[in-house]
Amino acid sequence: MIPVMAVALLSIVATSRSAQAGPLLKLTDGTTTQIIADGDSLDSALMPGVVTFSGTIGNFLINVSTGISKPVLGNPALPQLDLNSINVTGAGTGTLAISFTDTDFTALGPDSTWYQSGIGGVVAAGGTLTYSTYLGTSNTPWGMDVSLGSGTFASGPFSDIFVSPSIVNNLPYSLTQVVSVTHTGSWQSSSFNATLDASVPEPGTLMLFGTGLMGLARLARGRTSKS
């Protein structure tokens, strides 16, 4: 009786997890594309909200990539996405895009006035890495209706933070992170950790942003006085 009840309980848990909409992880080199859904057979993470892939994509022989979203990080009204990966090529070159997306985020609260994207890591010698973040107003996976920012980084260690004003609406929306890694030599490796969240920027970021606005205002006044 106990084994039967245990099997039934596991079945209920598995069915409940698979029935819920969840995050998706995608890796593609332009020829081979692998999409991993939360809880499917390719997802080596056991916790809902965490998607991990370990395997080969084309000439990228070693890839260990993990995306984390709600309910582990954040919630529908306060999104937090985290994407981290290490990627190693074999005897050749190539470009690999690693994407992470989740849906069903709602309007932000009054204290969450910005989307903040951050990334840090190491790029292989001679290689490049581009990080882009998007908001999908149609609430579909991989929605890219609104760009929240992007940055490109070259060889060696790097880190950056960029912010975008929040788009507050009463409809659910999706968020997507895309990191594209290019290797130009054999047996190269790159690694990164990328975040996307709704928050109030740090004072330093606000100061830089305010300084930029003040500079634009002075420039506008100068042009007006000359005319």
Longest dimension (CA), the chain: 89
CA dihedral (101, 107, 111, 116) positive or negative: positive
Residue 148 has pLDDT above 60, yes or no: yes
pLDDT at 15: 36
CA dihedral (141, 142, 146, 150) positive or negative: positive
Residue 154 has pLDDT above 60, yes or no: yes
Residue 99 has pLDDT above 80, yes or no: yes
Question: Look-up: residue for tokens 């989307």?
Answer: 115
pLDDT in tens, 1-58: 334 433 333 333 333 333 346 999 999 999 999 999 999 999 999 899 999 999 999 9
Query: Where along the chain do its domains lie?
Result: 20-226
Residue 189 has pLDDT above 90, yes or no: yes
Query: 55 CB contacts (<8 Å, ≥6 apart)?
Result: 34, 42, 63
Query: 124 CB contacts (<8 Å, ≥6 apart)?
Result: 155, 183, 184, 185, 188, 189, 190
Look up the pTM and report it: 0.80
Q: Name the pairing type of β-strands 128-136 and 146-153.
A: antiparallel
Compute the average pLDDT of residues 147-153: 96
pLDDT in tens, 104-143: 998 765 556 789 999 999 999 999 999 999 999 999 999 9
